[in-house]
């Protein structure tokens, strides 16, 4: 498997476009379209938040059929909590693009991100539908990626090449963050407005594709957090054009190579999202091991990863292991604190539940200057293990979110 980021590998069977339709007040690109050459296999995961934006409701209903032609995504407006007019706006937007493509409405999957409560101005999308379709191109992924950003500092794209029985296939992933990020999507479960789209030229029937997507999300997006807030709009979609290798084992099971490829691309995207969390300066991978089960370890990892005191300490480059251990201790999972070991990039700062000493902490403090690092809590000798990606909570996060609507 070859990772090819930031270079974007061509994915046979798809074209992409992005442009500014005037949805964002600042005039930046805000409308993105991905189109398969023909209707193809599709699968999706959507936010588990009870409050769900109109595009989530529509995309979820449409992807149930297992086939799609296009993904229409906008930034600048989440179209959430907008009632019946919001639903109409989403339907009108996808209808306009479907007509421009000559496809049925039901084959266009919508996704939106931006402020909650503002109604999507579908007239702007209708007015730009033809231009958007005209702009589609094989190398338009960068324009697509740019047009879905909100508080992100930059686009998030990853691609790789896999092989099945000597035949190659490719996966391209495009995502955006950067706040309300704690994906909990069903059928499995993520958070934020995270939007993420995986395109592959492999062949996989819808159920096999959905299975690969769920497995990949569970190992990546579902163990990633920026601020612990699961969005009303989280959407993860996969489309498979079927031009390259067959990546399924029957209707229901994906090939391992497809799961691996989806997981690798999703991991890159999840890391890009958390690294670019609102105001974040550091990506921290919290690894918890030694507990009774993976599920227990995941609860502890999530509690540590979402602790405000842990996250502000990381912002302060402070190897404040007391906060790490205290967060683990309130997770509701049994372990013996007197046996705890904590290490930062392999530098032990706690052994048997007590401090190793100032020298170790000074070395750990130097590590915490880095843009990314691992924080490892070993809490016993059980087999349970989990990881969570998080970022520091700094002044930039507060500035971003105190001013976001103003």
Please say whether the beta carbons of 21 and 31 come within 8 A. yes
Q: Which residues are catalytic?
A: 193
* Stretch 173-202 residues interacting with a second copy (CB under 8 A): 179-180, 184, 191
Q: How far is the CB of 350 from a second copy (least distance, A)?
A: 8
Bridge-based pairing of strands 195-200 and 167-176 is antiparallel
Q: How far is the CB of 336 from a second copy (least distance, A)?
A: 9
What are all long-range contacts of 302-305, with beta carbons under 8 Å and residues at least 24 apart? 302/223, 302/225, 302/331, 302/388, 303/327, 303/328, 303/330, 303/331, 304/328, 304/331, 304/375, 304/377, 304/388, 304/390, 305/225, 305/388, 305/389, 305/390
What does DSSP assign to residue 330? T
Q: How far apart are CA 61 and CA 42, in angstroms?
A: 12
HSE-up of residue 174 (Cα within 13 Å, Cβ side): 28
Altogether, the residues listed in the chain come to a count of 406
Q: How far is the CB of 332 from a second copy (least distance, A)?
A: 8
Residues 116-155, one symbol each (x = binds a second copy by CB under 8 A, - = not), give xx--------------------------------------
Total residues in contact with a second copy, by rule CB under 8 A = 65
Question: By C-beta, is 197 or 335 nearer to a second copy?
Answer: 335
Q: Which helix (H) or strand (E) holds 100?
A: helix 83-101
Q: Hey, which residues does 177 pair with through a beta bridge? A: none
Q: Is 357 in the site for a second copy (CB under 8 A)?
A: no
Question: By C-beta, is 19 or 80 nearer to a second copy?
Answer: 80
Q: For residue 228, what are its two tokens?
A: 């612990």
Q: Contacting a second copy (CB under 8 A), which of 22, 66, 228, 382?
A: 228
Q: How far is the CB of 167 from a second copy (least distance, A)?
A: 42
Q: Which stretch binds a second copy (CB under 8 A): 22-30, 126-134, 284-292, 311-319?
A: 311-319
Question: By C-beta, is 50 or 165 nearer to a second copy?
Answer: 50
Q: Contacting a second copy (CB under 8 A), which of 28, 138, 370, 399?
A: 399
* Stretch 316-345 residues interacting with a second copy (CB under 8 A): 316, 318, 320-323, 325-331, 333-335, 337-338
Report the 10 Å Cβ neighbour count for 303.
21
Residues 240-279, one symbol each (x = binds a second copy by CB under 8 A, - = not), give ----------------------------------------
Q: Is 298 in the site for a second copy (CB under 8 A)?
A: no
CA proximity to 227, closest of 313, 316, 306: 306
Q: For residue 325, what are its two tokens?
A: 């251990």
**Where does residue 189 fall: left (phi above 0), alpha (psi -120 to 50 degrees), or beta otherwise?**
left
**Residue 163 DSSP SS3:** strand
Question: By C-beta, is 52 or 170 nearer to a second copy?
Answer: 52
Q: How far is the CB of 343 from a second copy (least distance, A)?
A: 15
CA proximity to 241, closest of 176, 172, 175: 172
* Stretch 77-116 residues interacting with a second copy (CB under 8 A): 78, 80-83, 115-116
Q: Is 370 in the site for a second copy (CB under 8 A)?
A: no
C-alpha gyration radius of the chain: 21
Q: How far is the CB of 236 from a second copy (least distance, A)?
A: 17
Question: By C-beta, is 311 or 387 nearer to a second copy?
Answer: 311
> Could you tell me what percentage of the chain is helix, strand and coil, using 3-state DSSP and rounding each to the nearest 5?
35, 30, 35
Question: By C-beta, is 7 or 381 nearer to a second copy?
Answer: 381
Q: How far apart are CA 364 and CA 306, in angstroms?
A: 21
Question: By C-beta, is 10 or 358 nearer to a second copy?
Answer: 358
Q: What is the DSSP string of 207-221?
A: HHHHHHHHHHHHHTG
Report the 10 Å Cβ neighbour count for 357.
11
* Stretch 22-61 residues interacting with a second copy (CB under 8 A): 48-52
Q: Is 295 in the site for a second copy (CB under 8 A)?
A: no
Q: How far apart are CA 228 and CA 112, in angstroms?
A: 20
Q: Is 369 in the site for a second copy (CB under 8 A)?
A: no
Q: How far apart are CA 188 and CA 293, in angstroms?
A: 18
Q: How far apart are CA 88 and CA 360, in angstroms?
A: 59
Q: Is 394 in the site for a second copy (CB under 8 A)?
A: yes
Question: By C-beta, is 309 or 367 nearer to a second copy?
Answer: 309
List of residues contacting a second copy (CB under 8 A): 48-52, 78, 80-83, 115-117, 179-180, 184, 191, 227-232, 306-309, 312-313, 315-316, 318, 320-323, 325-331, 333-335, 337-338, 350, 352-355, 393-395, 397-399, 401-406
């Amino acid at each position: 498997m070859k990772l090819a980021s930031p270079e974007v590998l061509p994915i046979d069977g798809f074209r992409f476009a992005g442009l500014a339709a005037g949805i964002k007040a600042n005039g930046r690109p805000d409308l993105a379209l991905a189109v398969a050459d023909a209707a193809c296999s599709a699968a999706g995961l959507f936010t588990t938040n009870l409050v769900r934006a109109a595009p989530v409701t529509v995309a979820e209903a449409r992807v149930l059929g297992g086939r799609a032609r296009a993904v229409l995504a906008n930034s600048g407006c989440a179209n959430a909590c907008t009632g019946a007019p919001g639903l109409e706006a989403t339907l009108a937007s996808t209808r306009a693009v479907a007509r421009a493509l000559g496809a049925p409405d039901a084959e266009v999957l919508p996704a939106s991100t931006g402020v909650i409560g503002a109604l999507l101005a579908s007239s702007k999308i209708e007015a730009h539908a033809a231009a958007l379709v005209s702009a589609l191109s094989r190398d338009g992924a960068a324009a697509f990626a740019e047009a879905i950003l909100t508080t992100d500092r930059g686009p998030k794209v990853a691609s790789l090449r896999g092989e099945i029985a000597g035949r190659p296939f490719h996966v391209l992933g495009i995502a955006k963050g950067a706040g309300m990020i704690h994906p909990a999507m069903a059928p499995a479960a993520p958070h934020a407005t995270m939007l993420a789209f995986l395109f592959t030229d492999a062949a996989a029937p819808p159920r096999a594709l959905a299975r690969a997507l769920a497995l990949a999300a569970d190992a990546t997006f579902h163990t990633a957090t920026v601020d612990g807030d699961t969005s009303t709009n989280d959407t993860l979609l996969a489309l498979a054009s079927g031009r390259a290798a067959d990546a399924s084992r029957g209707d229901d099971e994906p090939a391992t190579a497809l799961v691996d490829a989806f997981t690798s691309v999703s991991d890159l995207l999840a890391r890009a999202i958390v690294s670019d969390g609102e105001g974040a300066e550091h990506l921290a991978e919290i690894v918890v091991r030694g507990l009774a089960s993976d599920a227990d370890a995941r609860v502890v990892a999530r509690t540590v990863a979402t602790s405000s005191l842990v996250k502000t300490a990381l912002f302060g480059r402070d190897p404040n292991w007391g906060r790490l251990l205290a967060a683990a201790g309130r997770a509701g999972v049994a372990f013996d604190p007197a046996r705890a070991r904590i290490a930062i990039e392999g530098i032990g700062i706690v052994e048997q539940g007590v401090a190793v000493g100032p020298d170790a902490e000074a070395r750990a403090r130097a590590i915490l200057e880095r843009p990314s690092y691992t924080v490892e809590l070993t809490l016993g000798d059980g087999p349970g293990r989990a990881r969570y990606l998080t970022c520091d909570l700094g002044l930039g996060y507060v500035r971003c979110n105190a001013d976001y609507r103003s």
